[in-house]
Amino acid sequence: MRAMVLKGPNTPFVPMQVPDPVAGPGEAVARVLACGSGLTIQHIKAGRIAAEFPRIIGHEITGEIVATGAGVRGLAIGDAVTAYYYLNCGHCRWCLASLEPLCANSGGNVGRNCDGGYAEYIKLPAHIFIKLPEGLDYKAHPAEIGVITDALATPYKVLKRARIRAGETVAVFGAGGGVGIHQVMMARWARARVIAVDLARNKFDACRKAGADEVVDASSGGVAQALLDLTKGEGVDVAIDYVSSTSTLEAGAKALGRRGRLVILGGAAQRFEVPSRELLLKEQDLLGSRYVTRSEILETLDLVARREVWPIVTEIRPLAEAEALHERLERGQVIGRAALLM
């Protein structure tokens, strides 16, 4: 099959013919129609996230099952699928409690610890594939459907993690990023008042279009004060931080109002300080939010099937143009998500 292979960290893609994957016991193989291209996998390519090489990256896939190995139940040839990003075990107490991101035996990630979607075919443990529900026109929109499993489902999960209610004020730090902009969209869908916070001025219009009521330019500093001003000194109900640097985390915490919730997702994952007295007096919560559960992916797929929300994919290119697309990702030039077609 054709594949884009990374031979090592911080190297260009090598277009290659590699052997077609063969489904062993408990595994399945899907033909890949499209695969999302976001900053997470660019971090792997650039060597900022460790991975095993040589590697075929990519996890936000739309595909069709073409083979199943011995003992596989619940998947049949021809089934339309996407993939869960984590190689969870499926049988530990956390998996059984539908909290798969916390799996005690995690094998890592699709496209990082096993080969991913930048190829004609992808082989995964069968339980990692997720069947697409009826009503999603995945053949017409394989790029958009593929990115749901991460770019859209991750923000959907945050709505629940942070208990976001209609009418609350939600600040999104890193709102111009591929997941951040979908967080703006999902918070708006949840009928919150949304304030987008970002450095990238070229993405402010897209943030507004995705549903931001206000945009705060973080490049001029004073973000916490700006958020307090926009809430008449009350503070925001929820701050969601996709940057997670010391300064964004501390600004988010400082801008929280009574019963405010700060949600921390990946990014720089730096240390930060908060005054415990504020947490106590205002009954505030600090929350980590890690990827999504399988059921949250199914719920997000259903939302898209009903056209409640629609993924923002602004650049769709053939697999052969992966290198050029990743250069644009690295420079922060992509609005929303990009995707490759196989």
Q: List residues near Zn ion by CB under 5 A.
A: 88-89, 92, 95, 103
Q: How far is the CB of 106 from Zn ion (least distance, A)?
A: 7
Strands (E), 201-336: 214-217, 236-241, 256-264, 285-288, 313-318
Q: How far is the CB of 83 from Zn ion (least distance, A)?
A: 16
Q: Return the number of the residue (95 or 175) whose C-beta is nearest Zn ion.
A: 95
User: Using the 8-state DSSP alphabet, how is residue 269 labeled?
Assistant: -
Q: How far apart are CA 157 and CA 21, in angstroms?
A: 32
Q: How far is the CB of 245 from Zn ion (least distance, A)?
A: 31
Q: How far is the CB of 1 from Zn ion (least distance, A)?
A: 30
Alpha helices, H only, 245-330: 246-254, 276-281, 294-305, 322-330
- CA nearest to 238, candidates 212, 258, 214: 258
Q: Return the number of the residue (87 or 143) whose C-beta is nearest Zn ion.
A: 87
Q: Return the number of the residue (103 or 190) whose C-beta is nearest Zn ion.
A: 103
Number of neighbours of residue 46 by Cβ within 10 angstroms:
15
Q: Return the number of the residue (72 or 95) whose C-beta is nearest Zn ion.
A: 95
Q: How far apart are CA 225 and CA 209, in angstroms?
A: 24
| Amino acid letter for position 137 | D
Q: How far is the CB of 338 from Zn ion (least distance, A)?
A: 31
Q: Return the number of the residue (105 or 202) whose C-beta is nearest Zn ion.
A: 105
Would you call the peptide bond into 54 cis, given omega within 30 degrees of 0 as the criterion?
A: yes
Q: Return the number of the residue (91 or 258) whose C-beta is nearest Zn ion.
A: 91
Q: How far is the CB of 59 from Zn ion (least distance, A)?
A: 18
Strand 214-217, strand 193-198: pairing: parallel
